[in-house]
Amino acid sequence: MEDAVKLTEEELKRYHRQILFEPFGREGQKRLKAAHALVVGLGGLGSPVAMYLCMGGIGKLSIVDTDIVTPSNLNRQPLHWESNIGIKKVDSAKEKLVRMNPRVDIVAINKRITQETVRTILKGVDVAVDCLDNMASRYVLNRACIESQIPLIHGGVYGMVGQLTTILPSKTPCLECIFPKVEEADQEPIPVFGPTAGTIASLQALETIKLLSETGTLLAGHLLYFNGEVMKCHLVDVQARDDCPVCGKG
């Protein structure tokens, strides 16, 4: 597909500093331009993920959220500013992203991820980035990605701690293998620092760029834990579960 994609002189200048990285190069940039990523959630994770994919020259970027910008979003969600309080997050985000890089096709989707909506939202997408804030929606997204064979880049944060993994359907354990379903008593606001969300989001964006451009080695089959409170990071191998209701054989 990327063979049909050409880079303009202007794009070669704009993306020069990443094209200079040889394993990526012009081919990587063309693959990125041919790709369609979906960012699910436009909060502390989704804002920086969408920004980096947009700046980096992804061809098409779909953004999904149903929330309205509130004052308590503003410590960690750089796409939403004080003047945006009260408007839809998808509108606030799209307005900035279009100004950031008008070459990117931005599709704003003001819908919740449910069993009824998820398939339509995933249609034509090359990768989905999980920037959600609750496990119930994550399980729905995970199942649909596995069934549609769409890679999923998971990220999550709490306070100064965060985690990340890349799920490749039929190749790695899925999200429900790693985090078996529990009845969730959440919806309470959780503590989050902007830089923690920004750290995990930056790594999610990097994984997305690597996956789409076929550069480097993905964080597949591993979960990265980041603990900013003591500034430590470690990798844990994750295992598929035979009794996983999504991808298990049992």
Q: How far is the CB of 183 from Zn ion (least distance, A)?
A: 18
CB nearer to Zn ion: give 79 or 247: 247
Cα atoms in the 13 Å half-sphere on the side-chain side of 198 = 10
In the complex with Zn ion, the residue whose CB is nearer, 65 or 176, is 176
Give the shortest CB-245-to-Zn ion separation in angstroms: 8
Residues found near Zn ion in the complex (CB under 5 A):
174, 176-177, 244, 246-247
Q: Which is nearer to Zn ion, 157 or 177 (CB)?
A: 177
CB burial class (10 A; 0-12, 13-18, 19+) of residue 233? exposed
Give min distance, CB of 205 to Zn ion, in A. 25
Of 17 and 249, which has the nearer Cβ to Zn ion? Answer: 249
Q: Rounded CA gap, 98 and 163, in Å?
A: 29
Beta-carbon contacts of 203 under 8 Å, excluding residues fewer than 6 positions away, are 155, 164, 219, 224
Amino acid in position 98: V
The residue among 189, 173, 145, 194 whose CA lies nearest residue 240 is 173
Residue 104 to residues 40, 55, 90, 108: CA-CA distances in angstroms?
A: 17, 9, 15, 12
The residue sitting closest to Zn ion, measured at its beta carbon, is 244
Q: How far is the CB of 138 from Zn ion (least distance, A)?
A: 13
3-state DSSP assignment of residue 155: strand
- Tell the smallest beta-carbon distance from residue 123 to Zn ion (Å): 23
C-beta closer to Zn ion: residue 58 or 174: 174
Query: How far is 94 from 151, CA to CA, in rounded Å?
Result: 24
Query: Where on the phi/psi map is residue 60: left (φ > 0), alpha (ψ -120 to 50), or beta?
Result: beta
Min separation Cβ 176 and Zn ion, Å: 5
Q: Judged by CB, which is closer to Zn ion: 162, or 173?
A: 173
Query: Is residue 224 within 8 Å of 238, Cβ to Cβ?
Result: no
